[in-house]
């Protein structure tokens, strides 16, 4: 493959160790809802976000006076200021502030990925900016799907396919990864009517059951922002990527 860089897709954090290497960059996706919510927070001017894995860590930050967004299984934890819906991260609440954030799947995936060279947060909301950022890094790329409690999730895998498609559009990348190929093919099936396709996803049903499905359409909106949240020194900061025209 000469000097080409590879792109791989990891469908669940449970097997991230099969993919992880220190020179790669990692794109973490948790479409419904953590990484979409993070992108939305930066769109609304949040200063930075501290992702934490455990409820205990979130509580400790809360006791120090931080604004805390925390949920488990879709529900806001009682001590938290708000939960995991992108619509919670309004400009009025978040502009210029630091938020501590803990979710069922997404924030753990971000922490796990931090053993690699650099970690970015991906959503449909920043699809093109994110892909351009990754291409410009010119390193091996791992897309880490947060999934659902270590299970494969359709909505994350479809976004992984969309990102893979964009990145393989640049000829200095290749894949020999079966899960990247599967993600690409699933994206090809779904992309012509993404919202209909996502009706099949288990997380879609979970959100409906819990009355939390108002965010589905928003979380599948493409390219509303050119901000790419980057995880560095235990915090997420937003950088603005100039979007390519190709």
Count the residues in the chain: 246
Exposure b/e, 47-77, CB count within 10 A at least 16 = b: eebbbbeeeebbbebbeeebbbbbbeebebb
* Residue 7 in contact with its own copies, rule: CB under 8 A: no
Helices 127-137 and 154-168: crossing angle in degrees, nearest 10, is 50
DSSP assignment letter at 245: -
Among 176, 193, 210, 214, binds its own copies (CB under 8 A): 176
* DSSP line for 199-238: GG-HHHHHHHHTT-GGGHHHHT---S--EEEEEETTEEEE
Structure tokens at 116: 């690699």
* Residue 73 in contact with its own copies, rule: CB under 8 A: no
* Residue 246 in contact with its own copies, rule: CB under 8 A: no
Residue span 133-172 as binding mask against its own copies, x where in contact by CB under 8 A, dash where not: ---------------xxxxxxx--x---------------
Residue span 201-240 as binding mask against its own copies, x where in contact by CB under 8 A, dash where not: xxx-x-----------------------------------
* Residue 12 in contact with its own copies, rule: CB under 8 A: yes
Stretch that binds its own copies, among 6-14, 20-28, 97-105, 132-140 (CB under 8 A): 6-14
* Residue 195 in contact with its own copies, rule: CB under 8 A: no
Q: How many residues at the interface with its own copies, by CB under 8 A?
A: 28
Measured from the CB of residue 97, what is the shortest distance to its own copies in angstroms? 35
Beta strands in 43-103 (DSSP E): 48-51, 67-72, 75-76, 98-102
Give Cβ neighbours of residue 56 (< 8 Å, ≥ 6 apart): none
Residue span 15-54 as binding mask against its own copies, x where in contact by CB under 8 A, dash where not: x--x------------------------------------
With respect to its own copies, which residue has the nearer C-beta, 12 or 128?
A: 12
Backbone phi, then psi, for 178, in 5-degree steps? -60, -35
Measured from the CB of residue 154, what is the shortest distance to its own copies in angstroms? 4
Q: What is the 3-state composition of the chain as percent helix, strand, coil, each rounded to the nearest 5?
A: 45, 25, 35
* Residue 179 in contact with its own copies, rule: CB under 8 A: yes
With respect to its own copies, which residue has the nearer C-beta, 90 or 210?
A: 210
Interface residue list for its own copies (CB under 8 A): 11-12, 14-15, 18, 148-154, 157, 176-179, 181-182, 185-186, 188-189, 200-203, 205
């Amino acid at each position: 493959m000469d000097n080409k860089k590879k792109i791989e897709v990891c469908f669940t954090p449970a097997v991230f160790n099969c993919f992880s290497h220190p020179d790669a960059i990692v794109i973490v996706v948790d479409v419904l809802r953590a990484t979409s919510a993070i992108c939305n927070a930066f769109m609304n001017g949040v200063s930075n976000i501290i992702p934490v894995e455990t409820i205990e860590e979130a509580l400790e930050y809360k006791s120090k006076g931080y604004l805390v967004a925390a949920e488990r299984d879709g529900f806001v934890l009682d001590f938290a200021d708000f939960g995991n819906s992108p619509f919670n991260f309004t400009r009025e609440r978040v502009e210029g502030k630091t938020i501590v954030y803990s979710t069922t799947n997404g924030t753990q995936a971000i922490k796990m990925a931090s053993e690699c060279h650099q970690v970015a947060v991906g959503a449909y909301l920043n699809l093109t900016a994110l892909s351009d950022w990754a291409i410009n890094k010119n390193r091996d790329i791992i897309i880490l799907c947060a999934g659902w409690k270590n299970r494969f999730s359709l909505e994350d895998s479809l976004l992984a396919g969309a990102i893979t498609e964009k990145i393989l559009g640049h000829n200095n990348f290749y894949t020999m990864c079966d899960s990247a190929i599967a993600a690409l093919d699933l994206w090809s099936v779904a992309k012509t009517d993404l919202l209909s396709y996502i009706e099949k996803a288990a997380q879609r049903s979970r959100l409906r059951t819990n009355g939390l499905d108002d965010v589905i359409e928003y979380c599948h909106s493409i390219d509303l922002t050119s901000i790419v949240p980057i995880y560095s020194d235990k915090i997420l900061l937003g950088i603005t990527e100039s979007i390519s025209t190709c």
